[in-house]
Chains A and B, each alone.
Chain A
Amino acid sequence: MNRRRRLCSIAGTLWLFAAASGAAPSDEGDEQALLADADYAAGLSALKANDPASALRRFQAALKRFPEAADLHNELGYTSRKLGRLDQAFGHYKRALAIDPRHRGAHEYIGEAYLMTGDVASAEKHLAALRSICTLPCEEMRDLQAAIDAHRRGTPPR
């Protein structure tokens, strides 16, 4: 999984689109505003610094302002997973997918969470969803496929 690389990449593009997002349709605003949110940004930084406890606090603070942000639920899912709270992780991933059924990251990460519980069939369902969502092969699909393959080989998930 290339989660750390993705986190760096997201943080690196925060500055760019604060200034250069251009005109966006009416319903674009929430996701972009989340990127500009101080708690969300601090949560991402805490995750990069391998401090999931701090990340959880900051993401939960951001959740009060952005209760319907799929990305935020996805990050909360990952953070909960890092803290060993799998039930909460599943709750957030499912919420992310209820808000945005085509959320590629949430499909990948919930699939990987299922692998942690040994539920390969459910992971495969999310891989199938990614195959349908990504018309062209996408990073999330490749990563979940690799995680399933590794699980089958008995290699522990990264």
Chain B
Amino acid sequence: MRSIPLAVTAAFSLLLAVPAAAHDAEEGTGQLGKVAFANSCDAKVQKELQRAVAMLHSFWYSAGEKAFRHVLEDDPNCTVAQWGIASLLMNNPLAGQGASPKAAETASAAIEQGRRSGAKTERERDYLEAVAAYYADFGSRSERARQLSRSQAYEALAAKYPQDDEAQIFNALYLAGTQSQADQTYAAYLKAAAILEKQFAKYPDHPGVAHYLIHSYDAPPIANQGMAAARKYSAIAPDAPHALHMPSHIFTRVGAWQDSVALNRRSADVAKKDGGSSMGDAYHAADYMVYALLQLGRDQEARRVLDEFKSPEGAGLPQSFAGPYAAVAMPARIAFERGDWDAATQLPVLGTAFPHTEAITTFARALGAARKGDIAAAEKDALRLEAQQKALTESKNNYWATEVEIQRIATAAWIAKAKGQPDEALRLMRAAADLEDRNEKHIVTPGRLIPARELLGEMLLDLKQPAAALKEFEQSQVREPNRLRGYAGAATAAAAAGDADKARLHYAKLIELTRDADTPLPDIARAKTYLAAK
């Protein structure tokens, strides 16, 4: 047994009727980070219980639930295990998906069992009631209402037990889970981060603290602040698939592609080995990996990843949302990032259960056709896109309805351009870019297929307005930094506008970015030629 953090145990010896026992979670097989969740459960379950809490902190749902249930086999009255099961079943609290009705039933049963078995301490009862606040009146409340109840309950818990650092950490997590996509001041995220930063200084090896800090900084203007936690988390819990993937959310925001590739390769491997419900995580990691590889000019490697996760006609795709999204997005990214409009028009429809993932293929085909000048084909797919957008609107899936609306407007813009209507084309493309700036990227994706503002830059370039194009490319780089296509566009625009300094700057960045490229891309050749000539 490794040492128990003194501050934690000292604090809880005052609070608990039964002396607390705490263990490092990395005991046993696999390293999951240091967790010391004070509890009154039987001494013989302590090792497994701390591991289970560590799994909860790393959103390792299947393994975590199994571990908590194993604890209950040895100590049926361990209230913390029932709380842990109910907590895991809430799903990723940052994704907004929430518990399924079936999971809510299972969780409610666990909570009831926990109440009946009678917690030995008031604190443990309070934890159980805090998670119960989420499930109360489950069927007739919205997920948003549940999130708010959960956050309020954990805020009260943290206030009641100010010395309980686990309560502070969970309070921060569920507070971050209330962040509205419409709030671009990121108020809830930053409030959570302030709590977590103090804990990070105290517990640099705690999996939850580093993990939740990454989530709390997962927005473009604040992502840099999450780099320390991002660099640390995978080393804290290298055996948890989510810990190997999650830092890449920050790496993607700041354009640290090498880091993203390395971690997502490991994350995908661990998730594939885990199998079952973890396959969605494997696809998700693969999509982030493909996106990063394409920025580095490692197209051959990206295609190998695509082949590894190929799913002809959608067969065998994971049921969870992230899997189908990744399966549809990966081939479309490979086409879009290289401007391979022929390939975009040939993308197969996978027929997933999600209209917004299907819309990715429709958008790719429509935009590809429009950019080739095949107006009839573009208009045909634009109609499909309109139907998909309408389905999302009518089902009140407002976030994705807006994302598909952006795709619709961008498609209409390029159709207008193909028809020789430049003013209308620019009006629409600008509207799409502005709308996209107001709608945050969803965490399921490393990035849109292509930033709308980059598309605006490309359109301006085509329309012989290079100075205006440069402005749009540079504006796009603020939110979507270090993108190969963004540098190529900016450099081309700068050169055409006669701004040699900026052209050199952007081309030099492109060369630096692609120094390990495995594919002879025309953009790289152009950059080398330009830099050599000047």
Contact = CB atoms under 8 A, between A and B. Distances in A.
Interface stretch (A24-32, A52-60, A108-116, A144-152): A24-32
Contacts of A135: 405, 409, 428, 431-432, 435
Interface residues of B, number: 48
Given A32-B142, A135-B409, A26 B395 contact: no
A32 B408 contact: no
Given A37-B140, A135-B431, A20 B95 contact: no
A71 interface: yes
A15 B140 CA distance: 17
B336 to A, nearest CB: 22
A25 B397 CA distance: 10
A23 B145 contact: no
Given A29-B145, A30-B144, A37-B140, A24 B395 contact: no
B395 A13 contact: yes
B97 interface: yes
Interface in B392-409: 394-400, 405, 408-409
B147 interface: yes
B23 interface: no
A25 B143 CA distance: 10
A10 interface: yes
Interface in A24-47: 24-35, 37
Contacts of B177: 26
B353 interface: yes
Contacts of B356: 22
A28 B145 contact: no
Name the residue in A25, A66, A71 with the highest tally of chain B Cβ atoms < 10 Å from its Cβ: A25
A26 B178 contact: yes
Nearest to B428: A135
Name the residue in B177, B397, B409 with the highest tally of chain A Cβ atoms < 10 Å from its Cβ: B397
A29 B395 contact: no
Contacts of B321: 22-23
A155 interface: no
A19 B101 CA distance: 10
Nearest to A7: B394
What's the interface size class on A, roughly?
20 to 34
Interface string B116-146: 0000000000000000000000001111111
B180 interface: yes
B335 to A, nearest CB: 23
B175 to A, nearest CB: 11
Contact of B397 (A32, A37, A65, A136): A32
Name the residue in B143, B355, B395, B412 with the highest tally of chain A Cβ atoms < 10 Å from its Cβ: B395
Contact of B95 (A6, A9, A23): A23
Interface in B175-229: 177-182
B145 A26 contact: no
B444 interface: yes
A22 B400 contact: yes
A26 B394 contact: no
Contacts of B354: 20, 22
A71 to B, nearest CB: 7
A32 B179 contact: no
Given A37-B140, A135-B428, A25 B442 contact: yes
A33 B444 contact: no
A26 B391 contact: no
A29 to B, nearest CB: 3
Interface string A58-86: 00000001100001000000000000000
Contacts of B96: 23-26, 28-29
A59 B384 CA distance: 33
Given A32-B395, A71-B396, A27 B180 contact: yes
B142 A23 contact: no
A89 B297 CA distance: 59
Interface in B146-187: 146-147, 177-182
Given A28-B96, A29-B142, A13 B391 contact: yes
A26 B181 contact: yes
A148 B355 CA distance: 34
B144 A29 contact: yes
A30 B409 contact: no
B143 A136 contact: no
A136 B408 contact: yes
B417 to A, nearest CB: 15
29 contacts: A13-B394, A16-B391, A17-B395, A22-B97, A22-B325, A22-B354, A23-B96, A23-B321, A23-B444, A24-B96, A24-B143, A25-B96, A25-B180, A26-B143, A27-B144, A27-B180, A27-B182, A28-B181, A28-B396, A29-B142, A29-B147, A31-B398, A33-B141, A33-B144, A33-B145, A34-B142, A37-B140, A71-B396, A135-B435
Interface of B: 92, 95-98, 140-147, 177-182, 321-322, 325, 353-357, 390-391, 394-400, 405, 408-409, 412, 428, 431-432, 435, 440, 442-444
Q: Which 3 A-B pairs have the closest CB atoms?
A: A33-B142, A29-B143, A29-B144
Given A26-B147, A30-B144, A34-B396, 5 more contacts: A6-B394, A26-B96, A26-B143, A29-B145, A30-B142
